[in-house]
């Protein structure tokens, strides 16, 4: 394999890794924004409330993805509103 091939493969890998990381963080940001809308609290209180709930879910359900915790919190909040 030539040096140029290695460089091209490295660049493609870096771009894909960055894209996947960006999409994941973008999704988490959107979910957090949704929580802030549903919480009907000041931004500071909503952030504290979210962190407390995240902490509780992490203890109850270790080794889950961050998105899973956030989606579960949103789901619970929406169900409480019904």
Q: Do residues 54 and 70 touch, judged by C-beta distance below 8 A? A: yes
Structure tokens at 50: 């979210």
Full domain range(s) for residue 61: 52-82
Q: Do residues 34 and 76 touch, judged by C-beta distance below 8 A? A: no
30 located within any domain? no
What is the residue-averaged pLDDT of the chain?
86
45 located within any domain? no
Task: Provide the domain count of the chain.
Answer: 1
* pLDDT tens readout for residues 13-38: 877 777 666 666 788 889 999 999 99
Q: What pLDDT shows up at residue 21?
A: 64
Instruction: Grade residue 58 by pLDDT with cuts at 50, 70 and 90.
Output: very high
User: How far is the C-alpha of 59 from the C-alpha of 53, rounded, in Å?
Assistant: 10
User: How far is the C-alpha of 66 from the C-alpha of 63, rounded, in Å?
Assistant: 9
Instruction: Grade residue 1 by pLDDT with cuts at 50, 70 and 90.
Output: low
Q: What pLDDT shows up at residue 42?
A: 92
40 located within any domain? no
User: How far is the C-alpha of 45 from the C-alpha of 51, rounded, in Å?
Assistant: 10
User: How far is the C-alpha of 73 from the C-alpha of 78, rounded, in Å?
Assistant: 9
Q: What pLDDT shows up at residue 4?
A: 79
């Amino acid at each position: 394999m030539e040096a140029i091939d290695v460089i091209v493969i490295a660049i493609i890998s870096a771009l894909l890794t960055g894209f996947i990381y960006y999409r994941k963080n973008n999704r988490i940001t959107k979910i957090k924004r949704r929580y802030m809308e549903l919480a009907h609290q000041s931004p500071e209180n909503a952030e504290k409330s979210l962190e407390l709930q995240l902490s509780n879910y992490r203890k109850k359900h270790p080794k889950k993805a961050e998105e899973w915790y956030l989606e579960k919190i949103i789901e619970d909040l929406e169900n409480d509103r019904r």
